[in-house]
Amino acid sequence: MSLKLFRHYKGLIRRWYRKNFHKEWEVVEHGLYFFQEFADIYNDSINDIETADLFFKDFMGQTGGWVIVDFLDSDNWDCIRKVDVDKQNGLIWFYWQIPSGDPLEEKMRKMVFPFGYYGMCLKFDNIRFLKGKRNRCFGIIVNGYTIQNKDVEKFAKHGNWKVKATDAKSSFFSTSLVREKNGVFQHWRFMNTPISSFWIIPKRLNIHPQDSEKLLYMYGVEKCENNLKIAYNNAKKLNKASTEEQRKKIKASAHDMRTVAESLFKLIVCFYQKELPQKGYNYKVRDYNLSMLGDLAVPLKNTIFIQDIERSRINEITTIANDLSHDSGNPVRFEDLTTLFDDITYFIEDFESRIMRKGHEVIVKHSDKPSPHDFVKANYRRFCFIDEINENVHKTNGKISFKIKTQIGTFVNLFGNNGEEVLCCDGYIRNTKEAGIDILKVWDRSEVIALLDKMHQKVTAICDAKGYDTEAYSLGISFEAKLKKEGTPSHLFTEKEIEGLMRNANDEYNNKLVIDEDGYAHIIQNPLLGVLYPVSQETWCAGNMYVGRNSSLSDLHDSYVLCMHLWLAYLETGQYMYDDYYVSDDGLDKIIEKVKKCY
């Protein structure tokens, strides 16, 4: 039996077992189990529209559409109402709103959404089931092809619809239009780039919108990285080939690498879509399939990659790619292909670090001093933080502990399994896959905050002493604390307690509701510290009357219900829980009952 067939039957057995022995499982509460079933049954990927049609019928039948759809441009849906597959044109139509049949509900809806139908359409390429730790599926990406504006209108008019309005400027990834037939109006968003710009995830995945955006970008850059390695490896074994055969293979690999460079640079332009117009470059999505490597190099050199070494490498990529992939008449050498590989790899790694720094950017200005990134990447394992540990870490037990994770330059690969870089008791950073390491545990939140600050100060001092510029550049290393449940809480927060906290909070500041390891609720004014509590929810932005003496406290009950769901998840998993999507209070009594059993 093949591995694919084995996994297919494994998925079907998993589903049978769930339906017969875990009847209480619901897609909102246990969405990851449902997603794992799909990944097993459909073998991690779907590449033809016939199977895609079968999958979406299965998907809607099993989940009812109760999932989250997250987009790169920060938009999101809280459900999928309907999926239609047009196999003739290769299109998939996702509806996130359709008429309910209730006149009163429709009247209320139209106050916010004036049209009866809202949805998204893409030209199908493939479906990928994304895997995380322990090879578990945590998301589904649907990839599409470029759709030009003339084809958008053609697809929208199919079936005797009339296009009433079109907007191709408000989103980098899509063209929106309104169409009408027999008095029925529909609002459609056509995804018109092949950039993986949205994904489907379970409602309880607890991914912050900013992290969701980073993961989508990382998925795109990892595709570039994999394709680059494939192209390079195809040309490496040339010793026994004839000279003409070597020449053909090098040129073929160079062409593939050129395509990778174009895809990467388009992804970077997409990432900086808001900044580029401010610097005089208006890159339009309608130009996606028309923009070649040279077209992309100019705005990137003049706005994003302004250091001499960066500009030089972009010029080198353009020159070598043109020489090798076209009939330039110049010599075809494997050494040039290696240079091309190294240059593109440089920008892949740089872009990965930029993705992870988003939201924590350091303003880059011209400096005569070099960036510390390469130095830190080469020497971070030599840094010793034992003095900082001895000075700040004293507590030896508690109901929660923290380990210090380290991020070096590039994003930790969630789609692989390379271990984690962590701080150990001897003060050095080591990988969790190394044998015999003693990972440091910190048992106090204030001690963690102090230790992280001192570690950052030490790396800054080391880089300053070596002559690197730590003001114009980020350090190329970051530290974060990851919490773990260690003991049983003594208290269970109540809605009344949260009401008191919200009423007494100051609306002049940003406020975040958190639950500590003992089960007490708090409101904190530094949202970044939310990750140091077992449970946190979306920040209430200052001045919006979510909290305070004059607030209606409209979020009170929803916040209490959400925190109770997250608290149960924390008690069951021992891991940090965050969400910004309110959930129904149906079955709240059962949730509280399960929570109390964990005490």
Distance CA 142, CA 45 (A): 10
The amino acid present at 367, given as its one-letter code, is S
Domains and CATH numbers, the chain: 3-201 (no CATH), 209-357 (1.20.120), 373-485 (no CATH), 495-597 (no CATH)
Buried b (16+ CB within 10 A) or exposed e, 449-462: bbbbeebeeebeeb
Are 146 and 192 in contact by the 8 Å Cβ rule? The answer is: yes
CB atoms within 10 A of CB 570: 24
Q: What is the pLDDT of residue 278?
A: 58
Q: What is the pLDDT of residue 9?
A: 74
What ranges in 160-208 are assigned the alpha helix state H?
A: none
Under DSSP, is residue 199 helix (H, G, I), strand (E, B) or coil?
Answer: strand
Distance CA 594, CA 572 (A): 10
Q: Tokens for 196?
A: 């993986």
Q: Is 16 exposed, middle or buried (0-12, 13-18, 19+ CB in 10 A)?
A: exposed
For the chain (599 residues), the mean pLDDT of every run of 10, in chain order, is 72 80 78 90 92 95 92 82 94 90 69 80 92 79 85 89 82 84 91 86 76 83 91 72 74 89 88 67 54 77 84 90 73 84 91 76 52 88 96 96 83 52 95 93 96 95 91 82 95 97 91 96 90 91 84 92 95 88 85 95
Nearest to 591 by CA among 497, 35, 78, 583: 583
Q: What is the pLDDT of residue 363?
A: 38
Q: Tokens for 159?
A: 């079936």
Q: What is the pLDDT of residue 522?
A: 97
Q: What is the pTM of this model?
A: 0.57
Distance CA 310, CA 22 (A): 56
Cα dist. 415→128, 178, 222, 452, 491 in Å? 12, 38, 9, 27, 38
